[in-house]
Each structure stands twice: as C-alpha cells, then as structure tokens.
Structure 1
Amino acid sequence: MRGLVVSSPLPEFQLTLTGPAAAHPGDQVPHTARITNVGAAPAVNVRLTGDCVRDIGTVGAGQTVTVPCPVKAPEDDYRVSATAAAASLAADELTAAASSAVDVLHPALVTIRTATPDTVLTGQTVRYEISVRNSGDTPLAGVSVDDDQVVECRKGDLGTLAPGRQVVVTCAGAAPDADFTATATAGGTDALGKRVTAQGRVTVSVLHPRQAVAPPPPLPRPQPPVQPAAAVRSQLPVPTPIIVLGVATIAMSLTISAVARPKR
C-alpha cells in the first residue's frame, strides 16, 4: 500500500506601512497599513496590532486590504510599527510585521539687530547689522528679511540656511526726527512648507541740539504778609514828651543872678 500525500494551497500575506517621512510635533500623520495575500488560499482571523489596531477578518487569495493608521506625532523622531496575525483554513498561524520611520522637524530662527551708533542727531546715518541664524534642526529655504524702517535693509531670497548656520545683512539709513525702534523680521520655509519667522529690534535715541529751549518764566516776587490793624497800631512810634519852660521861670532865674552881693 502506498502512502498518499495530499497538499492544499496555503495563504501567504505581506504587510507594508506607508506615510510621510517627516512631520511637525502634534501633527496628525496619516499612515497606511496595506495587507496583501499573495498565497493561493484565504487567510482568516486577520488582525492588526501595534500602532495600528484593527480586526480585519478574512483576506482572500490575491486580495489587498488597506487600513488607515493616523498617528499623532510626538516631540521627537518616531517609528510607526504594526504586526499582522492570521491563520490558514488548516489553522496554520501566519504573521507579518512592518515599520516606518518619521523625522519630526523643529524649524526655528533667531534674529538679532544692532545699530551703530544708537544715539544720534536728526538726519545722522545709522548703520545696522541684522544676523539671522537657523536655530532649528532642519534646513530653511527662501530665507528673507523685511524691515519697517529702512528700505535698504529689506532683502529678498537669501537662499537656504542649514541648521546652525547664519547670514548677516548690513545696511544703513538716516535717523528721523524722534526716537525710534527699528524692527527686522526674518523668515524661512522648511521641507514641509511651514513658514517660520523671528524678529530683531533695536531702539535708537535722537538728539536735537539746535532746538532753542525757552527759559522758564520768572518766579513771582514775595509779598509782605498782611497784618491786622491792631498790630499795625502797636508798631507806631510813641511820641517823646517835650518839656516847655515858661517865660516866668527864665525871668526869675535872671533876676536872682543880677542881685548884687553886699560889701564887707
């Protein structure tokens, strides 16, 4: 008696994960899990686990099932992973795994503006230096500088700025009639199309030495205090008494002096 070998077709499936290669922190990233049964028999009890959890059921021979797997991007780079498990009609276990790496971008700029000198006369030339540095972790394209005071400081496309690199813009302008604050706004765009900006400010003091300064008005002269009438009367001089000698008194004195003394 010869043994009889009976073979039956088996399922065989593949799992792939696709999605953006980069994202920003907090983005809802639309990853997709794709299960394809490349075998000749159906796979049953198909289930996805990991970052993409879903009960799929049966995947027929040659069939492809696509499952959306949105993931909220964390602060740093991450990897999306998923595992598919299934069984054949003969209860054979089947598994497949896939993952996808995502680069989390942190675009950022730092802008510093200085003025020389920072105290000037009206109309005097002020020289500016505007430093723009890529302080993020991804290149920024189309870097430009806008300015609210000096047309010469406005620069269009300064090219692409790699992380850690900087570009310096020098320019000059005449000081206006009053103190002012000059603001430069730099901007750049990352690989995902996000535009980031940063501002640099400097305050310049303007002096006016030719301006005549009016002297202050004279102070009023102090007036003597008003005193009551009683106090005024008390301060009047007291009359000195005058003694008048009568004519009779003077005549008597002369008579006495004229009497002759008797002879001895």
Structure 2
Amino acid sequence: MVGKKAIGLLVAIMVVASAGCLGGKAIETNTVTGSEHAGSPEKTATNTNTPTGGLKKAGDIDLDKIVGEIETYSYHHYATMDLNVTTTEGNITMQSNVSMLISEKGYVDIVRKRALVNSTVTILPDNLTENVLQIVIGNKTYLKTSFGVNVVNFTALWDSHPLKILKETIKEKPLAKYTENGTTVLVYSPPEDVLLPLAEGYLGVSGSNLTITDAALEIRVANDTISLIKLVYSLMVKTSSDGAFGHIEVVEVGTWKSLVRITSINERREVKPPST
C-alpha cells in the first residue's frame, strides 16, 4: 500500500463493512501540526449547461499563467461519493446503498514537494468514521490513522491533489465560459486518466477495475485568483475474489461530487513528520 492507495484500502474496508458485503511568491512561514481535523462535508453539484439570461460572456483570462504562478496553496475539500453496491456470492445476491462523506483541510507545496492532508471520512448508513492524517515529504508519506503511523516510500498524492487535476484538465478546451457576479466560470470535461488517481486513492482499486464517465470540472476565478473548484463524475467499480463459500463479485455504481475552496496561495509553511 502506498500513499493514497493506503487510504483507499482503509476506506474500501469501511465501505464493505457498511454495505454488509460478504467477505504570488512564497513569503510567509508557519508550522503545520496536523492536529485539527476538517469539519462536516457538504454536497455540491456542477451545472455544465451553457449560461443564459443575466449571465454574461466571460472576458479573456490567462488561466495557464494563474495556475503556473502557484507554488503553494491551502484548501478545504468537501466531497460525497454515493454508491449502489451489489455483492454476489454463489447464488446469493445482496444490494445496499452506501455514502462516503469526505472532509479535508490540505496544504500542498508543489515546488518543495511537501504536503499535509487532514481528512475525516464517514461511511453511511452505519456512521463509520476514520480520521486520517497524511504528511508527504518528497516521495515519503507518513500516514496516521487510528491504527497508528505507517511510513511508505511513495505517494500518489502528486497525481491527485486538486491543482494537479485542474492543471491537467485545462489542457483541454472548455465546454463553457461565462461571467457570473464578476466571477469567471469555466467548465471542462476532464479526461478519465486525469481522474483515475483520485478515484483509485479513495476506493483502493486499480484502473482496470474502475471506469469513470460523465465528468465535469467547474473552475471559478475572481481577481485573477482561483477561488473554487467543483468536480462531478459517475463511476463503476468491479472487483472479484474467491471466498469460503465460492466466488465473490462486487459491483459498485455511483457518483462523486466535490467542492474545493482555495483558502490561501503562496503562503509557505513548514511541514514536519507527525508525532507517534
């Protein structure tokens, strides 16, 4: 298990249990302790329709330049993943609905390869909750959960943090671009390969077992600053194994909806390994 894959496997266990399955430049310096967990998640949705009525056509903004000038950033991330889980073992089939609520406070230093992500993951309807502290220094990840602290020598975070997904997505042409109350809104359709590291990280599965469709990414820019990122997509996961009573197949079909608020840009912090 490495990096977010370790989180994904932990979350996957929680999902199985809940489903009842068988079987700017940087100028400021602060210290990040990772002791505070994020608050309650909220559901969001992205509107990808072409704007009408009072919405105005957006002027030109250099999004590549805005993104390229970001060396560090802090963010709050709220997400929901709703899944319909079908489990088949032999002649027995069970279905259940599971929701994953994710609340994160994160800090990423893209230049120095330092990151801290403090997460609370809740699985409904059983209300299983796990707090996860992930501190990344280069390619070494310190993962602190209720099971203790694990150290691994690689991480997928550098392929799945919010700005990385945004940076890869804006290489494509936007589906829509308009101005709303002085804020420029751009809507994109992210390629599946850009989103796979994020989805794999929370589900603990390989890309061969995971399909992503109907993805939409909405970016809001005000005063040449990215303030908000919304992401929605549909997903399907298929896994199988051999259990004590025969072959087990699990199919999960659902949606991901998330909102990221950028809270600071280019305020460098000191990231230290967690205390044991």
TM-score (norm 2): 0.20
TM-score (norm 1): 0.21
| Structure with greater contact order relative to length (CA < 8 Å, sep ≥ 6) | 2
Larger-gyration structure (1/2): 1
